[in-house]
């Protein structure tokens, strides 16, 4: 009786890889923010706009639905081809970029947000290290 009252949810078409890649991206951004390497001194806990920009670019890169190929022949050289750029793929790119950005933000809030550790209670970071 209970089984008939539950909604029919089909998750067979959903790939959990898209969630996993966004968690990895959120971790990578936090790693760059916490790094003491001079390569990443441009992104810190005190640069929220830079962090958002990097997250948006990462979301777009993880959402790209294009395929590429690199083909080389002995007599004609090499050819780099990009396929899959259509109006529908551009619309999908916009949708999946927004979705990936939201997933990255969620992963950051759940797993990496320093607000609970180093803030004044309003989300303002007071220190990057404890």
pLDDT at position 32, please?
A: 92
Q: What is the domain range of residue 66? A: 17-116
pLDDT digits (tens, 9 = 90+) for 29-81: 999 999 999 999 999 889 889 988 998 888 887 776 556 677 877 777 788 77
Question: Is residue 8 situated within a structural domain?
Answer: no
Question: Is residue 74 situated within a structural domain?
Answer: yes
Question: Is residue 79 situated within a structural domain?
Answer: yes
Question: Is residue 30 situated within a structural domain?
Answer: yes
Question: Is residue 21 situated within a structural domain?
Answer: yes
Question: Is residue 60 situated within a structural domain?
Answer: yes
Tokens of 113: 């947000």
pLDDT digits (tens, 9 = 90+) for 71-113: 877 777 788 777 767 788 778 888 888 888 888 888 888 887 7
Cα–Cα separations (whole angstroms), residue 94 to 42, 50, 98, 108, 115? 27, 20, 6, 21, 29
Statement: the pTM of the whole predicted model exceeds 0.75:
no
Range 8-12 average pLDDT: 53
Q: Where are the beta strands (DSSP E) in 6-91?
A: 67-73, 77-83
The total of structural domains in the chain comes to 1
Question: Is residue 43 situated within a structural domain?
Answer: yes
């Amino acid at each position: 009786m209970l089984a008939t009252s539950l909604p029919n949810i089909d998750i067979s078409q959903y790939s959990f890889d898209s969630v996993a890649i966004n968690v990895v991206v959120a971790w990578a951004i936090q790693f760059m923010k916490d790094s003491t390497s001079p390569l990443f001194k441009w992104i810190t806990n005190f640069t929220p706009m830079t962090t958002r920009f990097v997250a948006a670019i990462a979301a777009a890169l993880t959402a790209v639905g294009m395929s590429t190929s690199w083909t080389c022949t002995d007599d004609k050289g090499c050819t780099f081809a990009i396929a899959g750029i259509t109006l529908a793929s551009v619309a999908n790119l916009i949708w999946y970029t927004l979705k990936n950005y939201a997933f990255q933000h969620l992963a950051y809030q759940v797993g990496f947000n320093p607000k609970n550790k180093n803030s004044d209670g309003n989300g303002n970071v007071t220190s990057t290290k404890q």
